[in-house]
Structure 1
Amino acid sequence: MTAQKIQFSFELFPPRTPAGWDKLPALASALAAVQPAFFSVTYGAGGSEQNGTYDTLIRVVEQTGIETAPHLTCIGSTRARIGALLDQYRAAGVTRIVALRGDLPATAASSEAPGELRYASELVAFIRETHGDHFTLEVAAYPEMHPQAANPDADFDAFRRKIDAGADGAVTQYFFTAEAYFDFVERCTRAGITVPIVPGIMPITNHAQLTRFSAACGADIPRWIRLRLEQYQDDKAALQDFGLEVVARLCRALLDNGAPGLHFYTLNQAEPTLRLWQHLGLPTPTGS
């Protein structure tokens, strides 16, 4: 693999506690030491609050000088509010945005999405209409299907609408089966979609947490991995060593077969991602 042609990026979330905010500078600095292409910052705590996203973004940029992209969701919002957020981000020097629908309220069906913009494709179109090509727009992709999609074809059609609306690239939900990613990329190629589709990577560090996240987002944990994690759940070191090997093999398969980069879901922990980074032999600047 040619490192110069591959982009690596890290996702952070707005800290939920004063202690988390206190730790943010050290976290950002540790991850910035390997010079990712950009950071992304999720939409508030649980997708409920954009102020935390903005505050986190500003602090990360001030601490590291590295491009940082906010997640921007449209669910339950208005064009006026989204427009104000876009103006705020543009004034702050933001040039990249991760454009998402956002999580539906627990009582809403997918056809009942509240707000003036109901789908990520509509959000992408709105950003293009109001800001032209100022922002690089990343969208979400689901190699194993969005958990609320009716079927794989409907899910793929929703993804294609986001690209047609003007998205520049996509970052996938995490997965543990490389074939799911390559099958999705092949479907994109057949559909004439040529934007970069970057795999999302989740380090494995905690059995219960991973099981909970995967159930919520529809990510499949293959049976052989799940059984080993259950076996090691009371041995933290063994579980993390096993998780490191599993995810490292996945990353190597992805990069060796043409993935344009990797986007790491750090969960605001530097060590698991940097340990994986070093295990993969990814580029580490001299002196870092």
Structure 2
Amino acid sequence: MNAFRPSRHGSRRPRVSFEFFPPKNEEMEVNLWDSVRRLEPLGPAFVSVTYGAGGSTRERTHNTVKRMIDETGLKPAAHLTCVSASCAEVDDVIRSYWAAGVRHIVALRGDPAGGLGTTYEPHPEGYHQTSDLVEGIRRIGEFEVTVSAYPEKHPEAASLDADIDALKKKVDAGATRAITQFFFDNDVYFRYLDKVRSRGIEIPILPGIVPVQNFKQTAGFARKTGASVPQWLADRFEGLEDDPATRRLVAAAVCAEQVLDLIDRGVSDLHFYTMNKADLVYAICHLVGLKPEKTQAQQVAAE
């Protein structure tokens, strides 16, 4: 058995990107930066930092992104939503990102103020939908703009076709890349990609990958977001609630299987939802052939 196999169809390494969330306390701060330093040597194309509901993490997101720019060689993408904020308030955030050196924004509508499952009410003086936000971002600066995509449709969308209509509006407004909601059945992603391409949408659609750190939590979040959880996946984790060591091994195997299949079928870019936990993501990247590069700090130390 080989230590890893980048692909059955070639030796090209996949490009990866990672999502982090801003820390709420000192302990989480330490954990975040341990994870960032662990994954930075893998040379991600970019890393993204989430933005809490209603701008609740605005300052923490900004500080995290600014520190990444100042202290690492990473290219951070700052998340931005338009929930519970006027256009003027959102525009101020966009300008502050530009002033900090950020050149990539992940533009999202954001969850309803009442949480998932409640009705979305746009701010009366705000951007009403993501395509409006994308237009606003591109009007202010020459940002890369990444948006979301939903292989199993957004929970609020009337149909998958209607959801692809929404993606088309975001692309027409200036989006340059999309990242999908996580999924576990790769056929779902490829069927979606075929539909998207048939509509003339040609931007990169990166598959969003979530290593299963905690099956119960992942399944619960999947139910809220409309992502299906196959029975075979539940079977893999059954009986491991009190066996974290075996659970981690199973999680690595499951995610590596998914990622290798995506690569074998032609995918060259992968986006990992890290949950600020690096070890499992690092192991999976190693299995598909990604080896560490020198970090900015290591390069300086070597000079």
Q: Report the secondary structure of 2:128's partner residue.
A: coil
Unaligned segments of structure 2, at least 5 residues: 1-6, 299-303
Greater relative CO (CA pairs within 8 A, separation 6+) = 2
What residue is the counterpart of 1:164 in the other structure?
172
- Relative to structure 1, the CA distance from residue 119 to residue 97 in structure 2 (aligned partners, 3 Å threshold; closer, same or farther) is same
Distance 1:5-1:242 versus aligned 2 partners, 3 A rule = closer
Are 2:60 and 1:52 aligned?
A: yes
Tell me which amino acid in the other structure corresponds to 2:19. E
User: Do residues 209 (structure 1) and 209 (structure 2) align?
Assistant: no
- The Cα RMSD (Å) is 2.1
Identical aligned pairs, as a percentage? 39
Q: 1:70 to 1:151 in 2, by over 3 A?
A: same
Structure 2 match to 1:128 = 138
Within 1, Cα distance between the matches of 2:55 and 2:232? Answer: 32
Who is 2:263 aligned against?
A: 255
The residue type paired with residue 7 of structure 1 is R
Aligned to 1:19: 27
SS across alignment from 1:11: strand
Cα distance in structure 2, aligned partners of 1:286 and 1:84: 36
Cα offset, 1:3, TM superposition: 7.0
Q: Is 1:113 paired with 2:134?
A: no
What code does the residue aligned with 2:73 have? G
Deviation at 1:4, TM superposition (A): 6.0
Cα separation, partners in 2 of 1:24 and 1:247, compared to 1, 3 Å: closer
Change (3 A) 1:286 1:17: closer
State the TM-score, normalizing by the size of structure 2: 0.88
| 1:64 aligned residue (72, 76, 79) | 72
Q: Partner letter of residue 232 of structure 1?
A: L
The answer on 1:190 being equivalent to 2:198 is yes
Deviations 1:113-169 (A, max 9, x none): 3352121111001112232xx100000001111122122121111111111111001
Q: Distance in 2 between matches of 1:220 and 1:242?
A: 19
CA distance in 1, matches of 2:204, 2:47: 17
TM-score, normalised relative to structure 1: 0.92
Is this contact kept in 2: 1:75–1:119, CA < 8 A?
no
2:277 maps to which residue? Answer: 269
Counterpart residue type for residue 263 of structure 1: H
Q: Distance in 1 between matches of 2:148 and 2:13?
A: 21
Structure 1: state its 5+ residue gaps: none
- After TM superposition, give the deviation of residue 195 of structure 1 in Å: 0.4
**Residues 167, 49 of structure 1: alpha-carbon distance in 2 compared, 3 angstrom cutoff:** same
1:163-205 Cα offsets, whole Å, 9 max, x none, are: 1111001011111000111011101111111100001110112
Report if the CA contact (8 A) 2:54-2:113 is conserved. Answer: no
Give SS of 1:33's match. helix
The number of residue pairs the alignment matches comes to: 285
Residues 47 and 240 from structure 1, CA distance in 2 versus in 1: closer, same or farther, beyond 3 angstroms?
Answer: farther
Q: For the residues of structure 2 that align with 1:3 and 1:36, how far apart are their CA atoms?
A: 18
Deviations 1:204-252 (A, max 9, x none): 1212221222122222110111132233222222222222111111111
State how 1:19-98 maps to structure 2 within 5 Å: 19-44=27-52, 48-98=56-106
Contact 1:101 1:120 in 2 (8 A): yes
**8 Å CA contact 1:3, 1:282 repeated in 2:** no
